[in-house]
Amino acid sequence: LFNPRTKNISRAPSDIKNITLREEMIDAANNKATNSLSNTCNSMIKSTTLAMEDKEAGKPARQTNLHTVSPYGSSLFPLVWERDPTHPSLKCIYIVSTIAGLISILCYPSVAVEFWGLDGKWDAKHNVGNGGNAILVLFERTMALPSSFVLQLAIVTLAAFAFLICLQDVWPISWNTHNCECYEEMFSEPTRNGRLLKRPGNALSNIMFFFGSLCILGSVYMTTTGVDFTDNRNIFVVADGMFGTMLLILAICSTIWHGSNAPWSQYPDIWAMESCIFYLIIRHSCLAELALLKRSPSFDDSTAEVISAGSCVAIYALLVIDLGRFHLQNYHKRYLHGGCPFSVRACLMKKSDFWGKGHSDCLISTVCLFQALPIGYLAIPILTEIFILKSIGSLLAGYVTCTSLLIGWSYRLFDRWTLDGCAPLNYFATLQARHGLGPISSCLQTFGTTIFSPTAVLHFFTGITLLVGYMHARSVEYAAWN
């Protein structure tokens, strides 16, 4: 507002130099502000134009790139720690307690036998040893599946997924497979364009879900046709058939979602996944109900079986229907069509929306609670085995179930939608950038990102958890019948 050069005032040379320097700084600041305003206006015009083009093309609305919080591939844990106002000592207690709780899962089978006195002789009674064929014997003793039949199912499974590897991209255009926004915000595995399975690791790892569904449905068939030669009948055969069907739906929908990233396929994928996860908890609860009813003088054995079997079918059916209705509503709302609103990055940017419940901050306690879900998952089965059934069933099945659950769930914490920063996957993902575009580095990169993808590891080990966990539940039934 005041330009000293317009005034006829006598000034010292040093004053004139300072005034000139101040004027140059003011001019530079004005130019910077003008350029910033111009860039902002251009950005707003570009965003508006893109939004109008997306609306005309029927595409979902674009969201702010969440990788601006932290580059994709880098760990978000330091940001979560820094922004959490909780006292550092309390945050350390949360982390140490979670790690100790998860490790204790591995010790449960032996602790249950040694300290709680549970019957741990099921494996010895049924000739389940520790050799290479122990799992095949377990299939035979718990699911009435001969070893030859299990091997045939394994060959069918391998052939089906090997066939998918060889196919080119044939997904229908109407499936909107070009919409990768939600997928890239959630998963770390690089995209392989031009192939049927764009993310081979995340898609092919569903092989355990598919194999498990065939085994469970095969066991149901053996039971209903009278071929079951195990020493305990299966009164939950109807509910088991529903579980096997949902596991098959999970294998198909998850392969479609991770192979094509078609937005619609994620909703039935999550629906089937949640339905399968809850089944073993329901089955253990109804098995405990059966044991209590059989101990009561008011019910005979046949009445107790009808009530428990009916309860299992009814509860699981209601759960599947309720979850299906919930995710169908989310599909109509296009909840996951435009991004991942419940990711850690969305929480850090204050843009999260947990299934329509609004924003929630991501704290260390939140991360620890999420990571401790396996403890809650095993709580009901453990309590029923200790206080009601008084048996742990097959120790081998128990160890495999607990170990696979811990590995799969712990490793998935480093996927992109959670804390990110998966070091093994990042190493192979940047292999070509470091060593050039050679065929060897290309193959190594694809192989490394396939087997070290957090979601691929989660799929594979969760498939083991559900299948062997089902065999473990069948072995525990022996306590309810005796």
What is the model's pLDDT at position 42? 45
What is the model's pLDDT at position 430? 87
Give the 3-state secondary structure of 160-195.
Answer: HHHHHHCCECCCCHHHCCCCCHHHHHHCCCCCCCCE
d(CA 216, CA 471): 9
Could you read off the pLDDT of 253-279 as tens digits, one per residue? 999 999 999 999 999 999 999 999 999
pLDDT at 23 exceeding the cut of 50: yes
d(CA 453, CA 321): 32
Is residue 376 within 8 Å of 451, Cβ to Cβ? no
What is the model's pLDDT at position 436? 66
Q: Is 131 left (phi over 0), alpha (psi -120 to 50) or beta?
A: beta
Residue with tokens 């305990």: 232
What is the model's pLDDT at position 15? 47
Average pLDDT, the chain: 85
d(CA 446, CA 469): 31
Average pLDDT over residues 314-325: 98
What is the model's pLDDT at position 329? 96
Is residue 316 within 8 Å of 279, Cβ to Cβ? yes
Closest listed residue to residue 223, CA positions, set 210, 208, 236: 236
Could you read off the pLDDT of 217-260 as tens digits, one per residue? 999 998 888 765 555 578 999 999 999 999 999 999 999 999 99
- Supply 219's token pair: 């066991």
d(CA 373, CA 345): 21
Cα-flanking dihedrals φ and ψ of residue 187, to 5°? -125, 150
pLDDT at 45 exceeding the cut of 50: no
Which residue type does 470 have?
Y
What is the model's pLDDT at position 360? 87
Could you read off the pLDDT of 122-155 as tens digits, one per residue? 998 888 987 778 999 999 999 999 999 999 999 9
What is the model's pLDDT at position 227? 65
d(CA 227, CA 220): 10
